[in-house]
Structure 1
Amino acid sequence: MGIEALARPVPREHRELVREMLGRLPEFADRLARLLSEEDEFYRQVEHVAPDELRQVCHANLERALTALAEGRGLALDAARKTGLVQARQGIPLPAVLRAFRIGGTFVYEALLELAGPEFLNSTRTIEINSYVWKAIDLYSDALTTAYDQVAAEPSHANVQRLDDLLRGRLAGQSEMEAAARELGLPTAGMFVAVVTERLERDGQDTVEALMRARRWRSAWRPGGEAGLVAIDRIEDLRRLREVLGSLPVAAGLSRPFAGFPDVPDALHRARIARRSLPSATAGVVVFGDSPVTTLVAAAPGMARDVVRSALSGVLTLPGAERKVLLDTLLAWFAGHGSAKEAADRLFVHPNTVRYRLRRVQELTKRDLTDPVDIGELYVALESVRLDPEPS
């Protein structure tokens, strides 16, 4: 939800009225604040406690909407949604906010008619003004309602703490773990998968937990969707879960399915390793153990860097462009199961070019690409470089 256009662009002569209203914005913001305090009990209390704040809010909302109308562009609904998130978390009732927008819509409509004067108005122009003002109010109201729904779905502080206790293994005894699961909306028995993703902005629409709710997966998440538990009914659901998470442009690591809450901390650790099995800034979904060598490298990155220094040191000291060519060639050779022709097809070069580069790798690393031990060392080193291109 970003920029939303009105049904029809605001006519030029109407924009002049809007610009006139913008020129007298402090006056109209003050009038709207007084009107809200007269018409609504909640805003009457706000006027009594913080009159300046109410006028600032009226000023900001009027300026945002009127500027969009005057410039003939769409309405920026992200700002309305973010305002709604703040108001919802402050406990401001949604009916009061929606009522304020309706009062504000009527106020803007009547103010524009007042500025137009009787010589300007006719039935067509009156209907047009009414149409785009109320279309704007409908769009803003929808954005606010979406924000309130999002906050309503957020876990409470107590639930966040309970989930953290479960993920870290702080709960003693099966009964306490089952009680925590019930509070989190999880089943008390069955199979689960631990998930670790990139940290996402809480007000983003495509968060992992929002996607889980939309697909009716039973799950519990830390704020931001960075780590969570997902309940599954059968082993085959792991494939479905992988597909669902794969629809988001994020990197995600999954544990293998497990049964029993005592296994949660270990499963979370494995999900973190799976997450590290993806190169930085790369989207995708990895299940722990998908690639055993890559999993081992991700589990012990420090030791893997030592392997890099010993096995690929001769290549890594080359200038950047030359280093990349040799590493990409070696990677393509492994992906092609040791075939120079398959590697050449992947790289769009001649097989002899691949063979020349591989001989160069052997010279620099003092490893023989016909020796299984040397090949294994180079593969582990290459995976470490792929996951961490700039080892410290």
Structure 2
Amino acid sequence: MTDESSAGPQARARSQVAGLLLDRVETLSEQVVAALRASEPVYLDGSISPQDPPMFVTRSLENGLAALGGDRAERLVWPVAVGRHRAQQGVPVVSVQRAYHLGGQAIAAATAQWAEEDKQPPEVAAALVNRVWDIAYEHANTALDALRLTQVDLRDRRTTGFLLDALLNGETDGEFVTTVEQAYSLPPGGRYAVLAHRPTSDGPLLRQAELPSWLGEIRVIWRMHGETALGVVVLGDEPVEAVREAFCTRPGRRTAISIVVDRLSEIGRARQLADLACRTLADGQGVVSLDDRLPAGLLGLSPDLAERLRNRVLAPVLALDSGSRNSLLDTLAAWLAADGNAGQAAAVLDCHRNTVLHRLRRLERLTNRSVTSPRDLVELSLALEAVEMISQPTR
């Protein structure tokens, strides 16, 4: 509560800071979008166009700042539109909630900074920040109410795909799970996995006709998320190895399968692991799981660190002409695959054993690392994984 003597200064301060921050709304939007993409995979996985988050976040920030400045006209119309839009995209409730929290956080921090620089009285500064959060919560709750109502409207057989998208994006709500189970005639508590199937950077786009609904006795329900096809695999009592044997891959495609989960509510987690494994693949490696690609998967969790490791360890090799570079890297890869057996590596590379040893010695001199040192060998192996990942651009 505020008395009449403070209402005037607070109203003027709200109007002033709202106007100033509206001029900085693009910068604030970039800050929120970056934080949102770092914390919510749904905004990066291709199911939402890259242009969508900046546009919606900017509009939402403008809407909140207008409310802060005292404009009450239709200020809740936009959050309703956001909630409906996100429901149709299959975005989880928690992701929408996080977006509004990050928006409120950005405006509150900028408001507090302005109040300090403008030497506003402490009570005015505190009232400003409290008002920002009141608006953020009001807009968030309005958007979430609209999202839930829209989700209810979508619950029929023609549109349950949106609900399955929400589960793939991380939603775990029990009512969602029951609705999807009923719509697709799925067994409660069944065993599931997720297939991630995507084109390589130069591969042809996926066509619905190439996605099998059955792999032997195993049913697969496909959903397109951007250019990636996600298959919810209804395993039942079948082993996951049966999927890997039955699913046919071809050039221009990358395919990975997740761990097995015991409930449909866990397919969001399974999807994330399948996506991660898929991002580590080169062309034409069959169906792999993250267990097959754990070192590369760890690098995939932090592409920036992967690039830093590659450059730190292999920069002198990467600086060579393409022939010399590829010769050394191929030799290292073959030698590692042969568990350090130079003769086996030579057979794969179609060269003499001494040639393999000579190339390894040259690589050691260039990198200042020894293939006989366990610590150095770990770095060389991970750096080679990073080279392969970074040289395989994804769509």
Which TM-score bucket, shorter chain as reference?
0.5 to 0.7
Partner of 1:195: 195
Counterpart AA for 1:375 = L
Partner of 1:255: 258
SS in 1 for 2:245: helix
Partner of 2:311: 309
Partner of 1:287: 289
Matches within 5 A, 1:186-225: 186-198=186-198, 201=205, 203=207, 205=209, 207-208=210-211, 211-213=212-214, 215-223=216-224
* Structure 2 CA distance for partners of 1:185 and 1:225, relative to 1, 3 Å: farther
TM-score, length-normalised on structure 2? 0.54
SS in 2 for 1:242: helix
SS in 1 for 2:213: helix
SS in 1 for 2:292: coil
Distance 2:267 2:384 in 1: 32
* Structure 2 CA distance for partners of 1:252 and 1:261, relative to 1, 3 Å: same
Counterpart AA for 1:197 = H
* Structure 2 CA distance for partners of 1:222 and 1:231, relative to 1, 3 Å: same
2:316 corresponds to 1:349? no
Tell me the percent identity: 30
C-alpha offsets along residues 60-92 of structure 1, whole Å, 9 cap, x if unaligned?
xxxxxxxxxxxxxxxxxxxxxxxxxxxxxxxxx
- Is the Cα–Cα contact under 8 Å of residues 245 and 285 in structure 1 kept in the other structure? yes
- Is the Cα–Cα contact under 8 Å of residues 314 and 364 in structure 1 kept in the other structure? yes
Partner of 1:48: none
Deviation at 1:187, TM superposition (A): 2.3
Deviation at 1:385, TM superposition (A): 1.0
Deviation at 1:204, TM superposition (A): 5.2
Distance 1:202 1:375 in 2: 39
Deviation at 1:177, TM superposition (A): 0.9
* Structure 2 CA distance for partners of 1:331 and 1:296, relative to 1, 3 Å: same
Distance 1:324 1:164 in 2: 42
SS in 1 for 2:218: coil
Deviation at 1:330, TM superposition (A): 0.6
Deviation at 1:202, TM superposition (A): 6.3
Partner of 1:270: 273
Deviation at 1:261, TM superposition (A): 2.9
Unaligned 5+ residue runs, structure 1? 1-154
Distance 1:160 1:390 in 2: 31
C-alpha offsets along residues 324-373 of structure 1, whole Å, 9 cap, x if unaligned?
00000111110111122121111111111111111110111010111100
- Is the Cα–Cα contact under 8 Å of residues 171 and 268 in structure 2 kept in the other structure? no
Partner of 2:327: 325
Count matched residues. 232
Partner of 1:181: 181
Partner of 2:59: none
Counterpart AA for 1:335 = A
Deviation at 1:162, TM superposition (A): 1.5
Unaligned 5+ residue runs, structure 2? 1-155
Indicate the structure whose relative CO is greater, using CA pairs within 8 Å and at least 6 residues apart.
2
C-alpha offsets along residues 73-124 of structure 1, whole Å, 9 cap, x if unaligned?
xxxxxxxxxxxxxxxxxxxxxxxxxxxxxxxxxxxxxxxxxxxxxxxxxxxx
Partner of 1:164: 165
SS in 1 for 2:221: strand
Partner of 2:233: 230
* Structure 2 CA distance for partners of 1:391 and 1:226, relative to 1, 3 Å: closer
Deviation at 1:169, TM superposition (A): 2.8
Moved more, 332-341 or 370-379: 332-341
Matches within 5 A, 1:1-392: 158-170=159-171, 172=173, 174-198=174-198, 201=205, 203=207, 205=209, 207-208=210-211, 211-213=212-214, 215-223=216-224, 226-234=229-237, 237-249=239-251, 250-279=253-282, 281-389=283-391
Distance 1:330 1:308 in 2: 14
Deviation at 1:259, TM superposition (A): 0.9
Counterpart AA for 1:349 = C
* Structure 2 CA distance for partners of 1:366 and 1:219, relative to 1, 3 Å: same
Counterpart AA for 1:243 = E
- Is the Cα–Cα contact under 8 Å of residues 273 and 288 in structure 1 kept in the other structure? yes
Q: Which has the larger radius of gyration?
A: 1
* Structure 2 CA distance for partners of 1:230 and 1:390, relative to 1, 3 Å: closer
C-alpha offsets along residues 216-263 of structure 1, whole Å, 9 cap, x if unaligned?
5323221477112111123x5211101122355532111111112332
SS in 2 for 1:218: strand
* Structure 2 CA distance for partners of 1:176 and 1:159, relative to 1, 3 Å: closer
SS in 1 for 2:233: strand
- Is the Cα–Cα contact under 8 Å of residues 163 and 184 in structure 1 kept in the other structure? no
Distance 1:369 1:169 in 2: 42
- Is the Cα–Cα contact under 8 Å of residues 195 and 258 in structure 2 kept in the other structure? yes
Deviation at 1:188, TM superposition (A): 2.3
Counterpart AA for 2:372 = T
